Amino acid sequence: MPQTECLPIPKCLSLESVLKQTHISRATVYRLMKRGEFPSSRKIGNRTVWLQSEITHFMNNLPCAYGTSPSTQASNQKNYMGLLGVDE
């Protein structure tokens, strides 16, 4: 019997998992989705999910503050939050 290859099943995340991974609010997730700046959700039955790979890609393409001074990190975070349209 010939062996068939199966495609990997993509990992799906709930909204709560997305919020924990991205550290942004529910409102910001939906605002960024509406602007096309955040991965779109998908419906699987009655569940709304996001693909882990797309969330990882989103996070990997954010401005990075690692390896910088605390004042630069704070400035970068403030700039990032401004880009997201989040008021402090």
Sequential pLDDT tens for the chain (88 residues):
577 788 888 899 999 999 999 989 999 999 999 999 999 999 999 999 999 999 999 988 876 554 445 555 556 666 666 666 655 4
Q: Which CATH architecture has domain 12-82?
A: Orthogonal Bundle (1.10)
pLDDT value, residue 70: 55
Give the C-alpha distances (Å, rounded to integers) separating 77 from 4, 10, 23, 48.
47, 30, 12, 29
Biggest CA–CA distance in the chain, Å, is: 63
pTM of the model: 0.66
3-state secondary structure of 17: helix
